[in-house]
Chains A and B, each alone.
Chain A
Amino acid sequence: MIAILMMVLACGDDTQNEITVQEKPTIQEMSIAGSPTIIVYSGRGEALVGELFTQIEEELKVNIEVQYGSTPEMVTRLLTEADQSPADIIFAQDSGHLGALTKLGRLEMLSPSILDDVDSRFQAKDGTWIGTSGRLRVLVYDSKKYTVDQLPTSLKDLADPKWKGVLGWAPGNGSFQAHVSALRHLWGEVETKEWLEGVIANEPKRFPKNSPQVKAVNDGGLGIGLVNHYYLHRLDPNGRTAVNYSFPDVDGGNILMLAGVGVRKGSPNKKAAEQVIEYLVSIEGQSHFTMNNFEYPTRPNVPTNPDVPDINIENLTHVPQEHLADVGPTRTLLKDLSLQ
């Protein structure tokens, strides 16, 4: 299914399909001798990527020091430290911030061989960053309370007063921010603002993060939540009553967002950093994202987690990366509406 997806989307940019497995260096050959310490600023939590970096340390025989924070924090820190920054890699929760860094000229161009590992839609047009995993925006709903046909058919429906009091969201979360950036491009500024105001009028329960939302839906404390798809799969499948839902048509609510990495411009360890990134998008690295985190891979031919349903590509909305990188006005909009 994913293979078809990739074929459909990769029109015109077929170079990666020509590279066969034999030409790629094996993991062992990628080991770096006499390694420096690679410093990663990660906007993704230790819970999600900590193990992966430990794995990389063992496989590649490098030292990796990861510092964790929120994506805005780590990106701002990178910018504040400028040329004195010790960071080699920036690992962002959403591609919008990476795009913002590209705009400010803070990322190195990655080698074509790495970029080729990943679908062309899942990387920067100028090759300054690469997506490591995909996350789908979904609604999570309580199957005890609703059947599928009762659910809204479009994201825009959430502003309808009939959903008053049953909604939940996490507007402080980075994914939400990225989603709003996408909507601003899709629907335009005015409609996006109106939609947000409409949803606010429905008095949604405000969660600080996505996972409490999903738990709340499962426990019966919440009806419908706007989340990323993978949190659901953390819950014990036995007796799980929360279910993910994607909108039935091409819709602003069906968006695949990327988490990704880039190398800081001016990093003295560019080569070593690239090898780490190469691992992240290798089969082993991608398996971590799919099997442990229940996310979607950005590398073609990597199977998704059996528990995770395949994406219905036809209903996905495509938003060009440069629009997602337009983070500033999104922040202003959310601040104006007191959502941040």
Chain B
Amino acid sequence: MHNITQLSHSFGATATFQNVDLSIEQGEIVSLLGQSGCGKSTLLRCIAGLETPKNGEITIQNNVVFSSKINVQPGKRNLGLVFQDYALFPALTVRRNVGFGLKRIDEKRIDELLDLVGITECADRFPHQLSGGQQQRVSLARSLAPKPQLLLLDEPFSNIDAHRKLELGQEIRRIVEHQKISAVFVTHDQVDAFSLADRVAVMTQHNGSGTIVQIESPHVLYNNPISPEVARLTGACTFIDGTLTEDSIVETCLGKIAIQGASVSDKRNVKVLIRPENLCFNANVSGNVVIGMSCCTGPGFQLIVDVGPTRFRIPHPTYIPKGTRGTIEVLAPCLSY
């Protein structure tokens, strides 16, 4: 439905991102996940038309809005944009903010939108009289007024308190479904990305310029990161060195570990990806590891165990005091690189 093909952008001589390919289906929510400075916000602005890419092609709703010959103005691309700090027009009421994008005043449509995001009672207030959450909803309503096909959100979760994030995600999902549009949102937080997106596009920096390295649904992404970098971006992990002793078995500091699909003939030394939930701690007086620290995570505990130079964080349902001896068990076959 919406396509970005081989898009590149640079600020002067410095390349911001290169060769980005991304497609968004109707009704889909895609997340751009990456560290600060990898170019994801710039990519969003390029899609919006606020920045001009160097080359590539952008298609919205099967209409080419950018190519080597065409560059459609931001106002004509049929998009919506919501900024991290909402950017409401301070001199206008909520009602007029929301109605700003309409060519003619349409009170019915404004009321519809106010109702959609749930701020009808604030209609005649000014932005400075609203809370952060209310302002974000106004911002959303405003972007939806001209009936865009694609909604762009820049770090929508960044200014939200932790306990509200889930709620926000659900609201965005509901709005996208109700308005029958698609959405792309930018975030640096893996949890936020995973909670809302249908697919996550991971963006990393190589040689100073960013590029999308993997686009998958969250679950697939988490379990099959294409590189150690993607693995780090998508969840807590530790890497340990290992030597293949036989097919799919490596010798590591934690003993023999099963890994997924690697044969001895390919490579002997590998890096093994260990996710915390792959590990289990068994208390045993004759164990070879000692608990260094025991932290409470709320629902459970996290045990900090050092094995040589590597520090492992192992989830555990109950409290085990510091200094307890035991062994670490690796539960499932791990990924290796």
A and B touch in the complex (CB under 8 A): no
